[in-house]
Structure 1
Amino acid sequence: YNDDEAGRLAEATQNMLAGVGIKANITPLDKPTYDTNLEAGGHSIILRRYTWDGLDILPWFHDSYYLPYPNYLGVADPELDQIWLESEAVPTWEERSDSFRVGHQMLIDKWYPWAPIYQRPILVFARSTVKDIFLTPLRAGMTTESFIMVDLEE
Protein backbone atom coordinates (compact mmCIF):
# COMPACT_ATOMS: atom_id res chain seq x y z
CA TYR A 1 0.00 0.00 0.00
CA ASN A 2 1.01 3.62 0.09
CA ASP A 3 3.64 3.98 2.83
CA ASP A 4 7.41 4.46 3.10
CA GLU A 5 8.18 0.75 2.76
CA ALA A 6 5.99 0.47 -0.34
CA GLY A 7 7.77 3.47 -1.83
CA ARG A 8 11.16 1.86 -1.20
CA LEU A 9 9.92 -1.43 -2.71
CA ALA A 10 8.68 0.42 -5.81
CA GLU A 11 11.95 2.33 -6.16
CA ALA A 12 14.10 -0.79 -5.74
CA THR A 13 11.99 -2.73 -8.25
CA GLN A 14 12.11 0.11 -10.78
CA ASN A 15 15.91 0.23 -10.40
CA MET A 16 16.23 -3.54 -10.91
CA LEU A 17 14.04 -3.38 -14.02
CA ALA A 18 15.98 -0.36 -15.32
CA GLY A 19 19.16 -2.38 -14.87
CA VAL A 20 17.92 -4.80 -17.55
CA GLY A 21 16.57 -2.06 -19.82
CA ILE A 22 12.91 -1.94 -18.76
CA LYS A 23 11.45 1.41 -17.74
CA ALA A 24 8.61 0.87 -15.28
CA ASN A 25 6.58 3.52 -13.53
CA ILE A 26 5.48 1.88 -10.28
CA THR A 27 3.18 3.89 -8.04
CA PRO A 28 2.24 2.77 -4.53
CA LEU A 29 -1.54 2.94 -3.99
CA ASP A 30 -3.79 3.33 -1.00
CA LYS A 31 -5.92 0.28 -0.08
CA PRO A 32 -9.20 1.35 -1.79
CA THR A 33 -7.40 2.27 -5.02
CA TYR A 34 -5.39 -0.96 -4.90
CA ASP A 35 -8.55 -3.06 -4.43
CA THR A 36 -10.37 -1.25 -7.25
CA ASN A 37 -7.45 -1.71 -9.65
CA LEU A 38 -7.03 -5.36 -8.71
CA GLU A 39 -10.69 -6.17 -9.28
CA ALA A 40 -10.86 -4.18 -12.54
CA GLY A 41 -7.62 -5.61 -13.91
CA GLY A 42 -6.29 -2.06 -14.27
CA HIS A 43 -2.62 -2.92 -13.92
CA SER A 44 0.27 -4.64 -15.66
CA ILE A 45 1.92 -5.95 -12.51
CA ILE A 46 1.22 -5.82 -8.79
CA LEU A 47 3.95 -5.76 -6.17
CA ARG A 48 2.75 -6.92 -2.80
CA ARG A 49 4.81 -7.37 0.35
CA TYR A 50 4.40 -10.82 1.76
CA THR A 51 5.35 -11.99 5.24
CA TRP A 52 4.19 -14.82 7.46
CA ASP A 53 2.08 -12.39 9.49
CA GLY A 54 -0.06 -11.87 6.39
CA LEU A 55 -0.98 -15.51 5.96
CA ASP A 56 -4.33 -14.86 4.30
CA ILE A 57 -2.68 -13.71 1.07
CA LEU A 58 -1.93 -17.31 0.05
CA PRO A 59 -5.49 -18.65 0.09
CA TRP A 60 -6.80 -15.36 -1.28
CA PHE A 61 -4.96 -15.93 -4.55
CA HIS A 62 -4.85 -19.76 -4.54
CA ASP A 63 -7.99 -21.23 -2.93
CA SER A 64 -10.50 -22.53 -5.47
CA TYR A 65 -13.23 -20.85 -3.39
CA TYR A 66 -11.93 -17.55 -4.79
CA LEU A 67 -12.14 -18.48 -8.49
CA PRO A 68 -12.10 -16.45 -10.70
CA TYR A 69 -11.40 -13.39 -8.50
CA PRO A 70 -8.97 -12.93 -6.89
CA ASN A 71 -7.63 -16.41 -7.77
CA TYR A 72 -6.79 -15.30 -11.32
CA LEU A 73 -4.22 -18.06 -11.72
CA GLY A 74 -6.94 -20.69 -11.72
CA VAL A 75 -5.43 -22.84 -8.96
CA ALA A 76 -8.06 -25.47 -8.14
CA ASP A 77 -6.41 -28.04 -5.90
CA PRO A 78 -8.62 -29.80 -3.30
CA GLU A 79 -5.59 -30.84 -1.22
CA LEU A 80 -4.34 -27.25 -1.07
CA ASP A 81 -7.84 -25.95 -0.28
CA GLN A 82 -7.96 -28.38 2.66
CA ILE A 83 -4.64 -27.06 3.98
CA TRP A 84 -6.02 -23.49 3.97
CA LEU A 85 -9.22 -24.64 5.69
CA GLU A 86 -7.37 -26.57 8.39
CA SER A 87 -4.93 -23.70 8.91
CA GLU A 88 -7.76 -21.36 9.81
CA ALA A 89 -9.02 -23.79 12.49
CA VAL A 90 -5.83 -24.23 14.52
CA PRO A 91 -5.85 -22.60 17.96
CA THR A 92 -2.44 -20.89 18.07
CA TRP A 93 -0.59 -18.51 15.78
CA GLU A 94 2.47 -20.79 15.72
CA GLU A 95 0.44 -23.81 14.58
CA ARG A 96 -1.31 -21.69 11.97
CA SER A 97 2.04 -20.45 10.66
CA ASP A 98 3.37 -24.01 10.49
CA SER A 99 0.29 -25.16 8.59
CA PHE A 100 0.53 -22.28 6.13
CA ARG A 101 4.20 -23.10 5.55
CA VAL A 102 3.07 -26.57 4.44
CA GLY A 103 0.68 -24.92 1.97
CA HIS A 104 3.38 -22.53 0.82
CA GLN A 105 5.81 -25.39 0.20
CA MET A 106 3.11 -27.25 -1.72
CA LEU A 107 2.56 -24.18 -3.92
CA ILE A 108 6.27 -24.03 -4.67
CA ASP A 109 6.61 -27.77 -5.29
CA LYS A 110 3.42 -28.32 -7.30
CA TRP A 111 2.51 -25.05 -8.95
CA TYR A 112 5.45 -22.67 -9.13
CA PRO A 113 9.13 -22.94 -9.89
CA TRP A 114 9.25 -19.28 -8.73
CA ALA A 115 7.06 -16.76 -6.89
CA PRO A 116 3.35 -16.54 -7.76
CA ILE A 117 2.64 -13.92 -10.41
CA TYR A 118 -0.75 -12.80 -11.66
CA GLN A 119 -0.71 -12.13 -15.38
CA ARG A 120 -3.88 -10.94 -17.03
CA PRO A 121 -4.58 -11.91 -20.65
CA ILE A 122 -3.31 -9.21 -23.03
CA LEU A 123 -1.42 -8.76 -26.28
CA VAL A 124 2.24 -7.79 -26.30
CA PHE A 125 3.60 -5.36 -28.87
CA ALA A 126 7.24 -4.33 -29.10
CA ARG A 127 9.46 -2.29 -31.42
CA SER A 128 11.66 -4.19 -33.84
CA THR A 129 14.68 -3.10 -31.76
CA VAL A 130 13.53 -5.29 -28.87
CA LYS A 131 15.38 -8.59 -29.04
CA ASP A 132 15.38 -11.89 -27.16
CA ILE A 133 11.91 -11.73 -25.62
CA PHE A 134 10.58 -15.15 -24.68
CA LEU A 135 6.86 -15.11 -23.95
CA THR A 136 5.74 -17.89 -21.66
CA PRO A 137 2.05 -18.85 -21.66
CA LEU A 138 0.60 -19.37 -18.19
CA ARG A 139 -2.83 -20.28 -16.87
CA ALA A 140 -4.72 -17.12 -16.02
CA GLY A 141 -8.30 -16.24 -15.16
CA MET A 142 -10.89 -17.53 -17.59
CA THR A 143 -8.47 -17.87 -20.52
CA THR A 144 -5.85 -20.48 -21.30
CA GLU A 145 -2.94 -18.12 -21.95
CA SER A 146 -1.59 -14.78 -20.88
CA PHE A 147 1.64 -12.93 -21.50
CA ILE A 148 3.66 -10.39 -19.55
CA MET A 149 3.28 -6.86 -20.88
CA VAL A 150 6.32 -4.60 -20.81
CA ASP A 151 5.89 -0.86 -21.36
CA LEU A 152 8.98 0.39 -23.17
CA GLU A 153 10.18 3.97 -23.42
CA GLU A 154 13.04 5.50 -25.41
Structure 2
Amino acid sequence: MYSDDGFRELGRQECLVLLVRAPVGRIVHTRHALPAVLPVTFCLDADSAVLLRTAADSDLARSVDGVVVAFEADEVDARAHSGWSVVVTGRATVVTDPAEHGRLSRTGPRSWVATPRDVFIRIEPELVTGRELVGGRTAYGVDLSL
Protein backbone atom coordinates (compact mmCIF):
# COMPACT_ATOMS: atom_id res chain seq x y z
CA MET A 1 0.00 0.00 0.00
CA TYR A 2 1.36 3.40 -0.97
CA SER A 3 1.25 6.24 1.51
CA ASP A 4 -0.73 8.48 -0.89
CA ASP A 5 -3.11 5.94 -2.44
CA GLY A 6 -6.23 7.30 -0.71
CA PHE A 7 -6.36 4.53 1.88
CA ARG A 8 -5.46 4.49 5.54
CA GLU A 9 -4.41 1.30 7.29
CA LEU A 10 -6.56 0.49 10.29
CA GLY A 11 -5.24 -0.93 13.54
CA ARG A 12 -6.57 -4.18 14.97
CA GLN A 13 -8.77 -2.45 17.58
CA GLU A 14 -10.23 -0.04 15.00
CA CYS A 15 -11.06 -3.02 12.79
CA LEU A 16 -12.87 -4.85 15.58
CA VAL A 17 -14.92 -1.76 16.45
CA LEU A 18 -15.97 -1.38 12.80
CA LEU A 19 -16.93 -5.05 12.53
CA VAL A 20 -19.52 -4.59 15.27
CA ARG A 21 -21.32 -2.05 13.03
CA ALA A 22 -21.60 -4.32 9.98
CA PRO A 23 -24.83 -6.34 9.67
CA VAL A 24 -23.46 -8.77 7.06
CA GLY A 25 -20.04 -10.09 6.14
CA ARG A 26 -18.55 -12.65 3.75
CA ILE A 27 -16.74 -15.87 4.55
CA VAL A 28 -14.07 -16.87 2.06
CA HIS A 29 -13.19 -20.56 1.96
CA THR A 30 -12.31 -23.35 -0.44
CA ARG A 31 -15.05 -25.46 -1.98
CA HIS A 32 -14.18 -28.23 -4.45
CA ALA A 33 -10.64 -26.80 -4.69
CA LEU A 34 -11.97 -23.39 -5.77
CA PRO A 35 -12.45 -20.13 -3.85
CA ALA A 36 -15.97 -19.65 -2.51
CA VAL A 37 -17.48 -16.54 -0.95
CA LEU A 38 -20.75 -16.55 0.97
CA PRO A 39 -22.59 -13.63 2.58
CA VAL A 40 -23.42 -14.37 6.22
CA THR A 41 -24.80 -12.74 9.32
CA PHE A 42 -22.34 -12.72 12.19
CA CYS A 43 -21.33 -11.23 15.49
CA LEU A 44 -18.16 -10.96 17.54
CA ASP A 45 -17.73 -13.00 20.70
CA ALA A 46 -16.23 -11.50 23.87
CA ASP A 47 -12.77 -12.68 22.76
CA SER A 48 -13.23 -11.00 19.33
CA ALA A 49 -13.75 -14.31 17.50
CA VAL A 50 -16.14 -14.05 14.54
CA LEU A 51 -19.24 -16.19 15.07
CA LEU A 52 -21.48 -17.49 12.29
CA ARG A 53 -24.62 -19.63 12.50
CA THR A 54 -25.58 -22.10 9.80
CA ALA A 55 -27.41 -25.37 9.22
CA ALA A 56 -25.59 -28.36 10.70
CA ASP A 57 -25.73 -30.23 7.39
CA SER A 58 -24.67 -27.27 5.24
CA ASP A 59 -21.77 -27.35 2.79
CA LEU A 60 -20.32 -24.42 4.71
CA ALA A 61 -20.18 -26.28 8.03
CA ARG A 62 -18.55 -29.29 6.38
CA SER A 63 -16.00 -27.36 4.33
CA VAL A 64 -14.63 -24.91 6.93
CA ASP A 65 -14.31 -26.99 10.09
CA GLY A 66 -10.66 -27.00 11.10
CA VAL A 67 -9.32 -24.98 8.17
CA VAL A 68 -8.02 -21.44 7.77
CA VAL A 69 -10.59 -19.07 6.24
CA ALA A 70 -10.95 -15.36 5.66
CA PHE A 71 -13.90 -13.27 6.77
CA GLU A 72 -14.56 -9.82 5.32
CA ALA A 73 -17.02 -7.07 6.14
CA ASP A 74 -17.21 -3.54 4.84
CA GLU A 75 -19.21 -0.36 4.60
CA VAL A 76 -19.09 1.85 1.51
CA ASP A 77 -20.63 5.22 0.73
CA ALA A 78 -20.48 5.42 -3.07
CA ARG A 79 -21.58 9.06 -3.16
CA ALA A 80 -18.93 10.22 -0.71
CA HIS A 81 -16.28 7.88 -2.10
CA SER A 82 -15.52 6.66 1.38
CA GLY A 83 -15.75 3.50 3.39
CA TRP A 84 -13.81 0.75 5.06
CA SER A 85 -13.03 -2.93 4.70
CA VAL A 86 -11.87 -5.35 7.40
CA VAL A 87 -10.52 -8.88 6.89
CA VAL A 88 -10.18 -11.45 9.67
CA THR A 89 -8.07 -14.50 8.87
CA GLY A 90 -7.96 -17.53 11.13
CA ARG A 91 -8.91 -21.12 11.75
CA ALA A 92 -12.63 -21.90 11.65
CA THR A 93 -14.13 -24.55 13.90
CA VAL A 94 -17.63 -25.84 14.39
CA VAL A 95 -18.62 -25.43 18.04
CA THR A 96 -19.32 -28.92 19.41
CA ASP A 97 -19.41 -28.30 23.17
CA PRO A 98 -23.09 -28.44 24.30
CA ALA A 99 -22.64 -25.77 26.99
CA GLU A 100 -20.93 -23.42 24.52
CA HIS A 101 -23.66 -24.09 21.93
CA GLY A 102 -26.28 -23.23 24.55
CA ARG A 103 -24.53 -19.98 25.41
CA LEU A 104 -24.21 -19.02 21.75
CA SER A 105 -27.87 -19.87 21.15
CA ARG A 106 -28.68 -17.06 23.61
CA THR A 107 -25.93 -14.56 22.74
CA GLY A 108 -24.66 -15.47 19.26
CA PRO A 109 -25.75 -14.37 15.82
CA ARG A 110 -29.32 -14.89 14.67
CA SER A 111 -29.91 -16.78 11.46
CA TRP A 112 -32.06 -15.23 8.74
CA VAL A 113 -33.16 -18.71 7.67
CA ALA A 114 -34.79 -21.11 10.10
CA THR A 115 -33.16 -24.55 10.19
CA PRO A 116 -34.20 -27.59 12.20
CA ARG A 117 -30.65 -28.01 13.54
CA ASP A 118 -27.98 -25.35 13.47
CA VAL A 119 -24.33 -25.03 14.42
CA PHE A 120 -22.06 -22.15 15.27
CA ILE A 121 -18.80 -21.58 13.47
CA ARG A 122 -16.04 -19.76 15.34
CA ILE A 123 -13.26 -17.99 13.42
CA GLU A 124 -10.26 -17.23 15.61
CA PRO A 125 -8.95 -13.72 14.77
CA GLU A 126 -5.31 -14.63 14.12
CA LEU A 127 -4.79 -11.82 11.61
CA VAL A 128 -7.02 -8.72 11.56
CA THR A 129 -6.38 -6.09 8.88
CA GLY A 130 -8.35 -3.22 7.47
CA ARG A 131 -8.31 -0.18 5.26
CA GLU A 132 -10.32 3.00 5.22
CA LEU A 133 -10.96 4.84 1.97
CA VAL A 134 -10.76 8.57 2.52
CA GLY A 135 -13.55 10.36 0.62
CA GLY A 136 -13.27 13.18 -1.87
CA ARG A 137 -9.75 12.32 -2.96
CA THR A 138 -8.29 13.58 -6.20
CA ALA A 139 -6.86 10.77 -8.33
CA TYR A 140 -5.18 11.08 -11.71
CA GLY A 141 -6.22 14.73 -11.88
CA VAL A 142 -9.93 13.90 -11.51
CA ASP A 143 -11.90 15.28 -8.56
CA LEU A 144 -13.85 12.33 -7.12
CA SER A 145 -15.94 14.44 -4.73
CA LEU A 146 -18.51 15.46 -7.36
More helix by share: 1
- TM over 0.5: same fold? no
TM range (shorter): under 0.3
TM-score (norm 1): 0.27
TM-score (norm 2): 0.28
More strand by share: 2
Higher relative contact order (CA 8 A, sep 6+): 2
